[in-house]
Amino acid sequence: MRRLWFVLLAVVLAGGLASAYTVHYSSGVNGISITTTNLVTQFTDNHSGGAGTTFRATWIFIRSRAGSDACFFDTDGVATTSDDRLDAGQNVSITYDNRLGGEGFPALGAICDTGESATWDLSAGR
């Protein structure tokens, strides 16, 4: 009887681990093009073999490609030129602080100053 409980416990735990699901978004080889119009990028699973599910990211990685102008980003999806700045060739990694409540970052907003543009590589996951 005791052995049966251990087998049952092992099956339940294995099922729980197998159902753990991660999602990942990547901008791919072309990256995302930032201009003077706010670009909103929602995170949709495109690399985990998932069903294209939109998700709230718990981590974001942005890399500005060389030759890009300095542009700005915000993790609420609406960027202004007063938000966080990312210069050419730099990168930033952002982790969601779950002590704030909520479930993660809904989207990334990005914008450049007048006459400026950039190409960024963007990855996000949960």
pTM, 2 dp: 0.79
In a domain, 44, yes or no: yes
In the structure, what pLDDT confidence band is assigned to residue 21 with cuts at 50, 70 and 90? low
Element of type H or E holding 24: strand 24-26
**Model confidence at 8: pLDDT above 90:** no
Q: Locate tokens 């002590």: which residue? A: 99
Instruction: Identify the residue with better confidence: 22 or 107.
Output: 107
CATH classification of the domain holding 44: 2.60.120
In the structure, what pLDDT confidence band is assigned to residue 50 with cuts at 50, 70 and 90? low
In the structure, what pLDDT confidence band is assigned to residue 29 with cuts at 50, 70 and 90? very high
**Model confidence at 59: pLDDT above 70:** yes
In the structure, what pLDDT confidence band is assigned to residue 18 with cuts at 50, 70 and 90? very low
In a domain, 8, yes or no: no
Structural domain count of the chain: 1
User: What whole-number distance in Å separates Cα of residue 44 and Cα of residue 54?
Assistant: 4
In a domain, 97, yes or no: yes
Owning domain of residue 73 = 24-125
User: What whole-number distance in Å separates Cα of residue 41 and Cα of residue 52?
Assistant: 14
**Model confidence at 36: pLDDT above 70:** yes
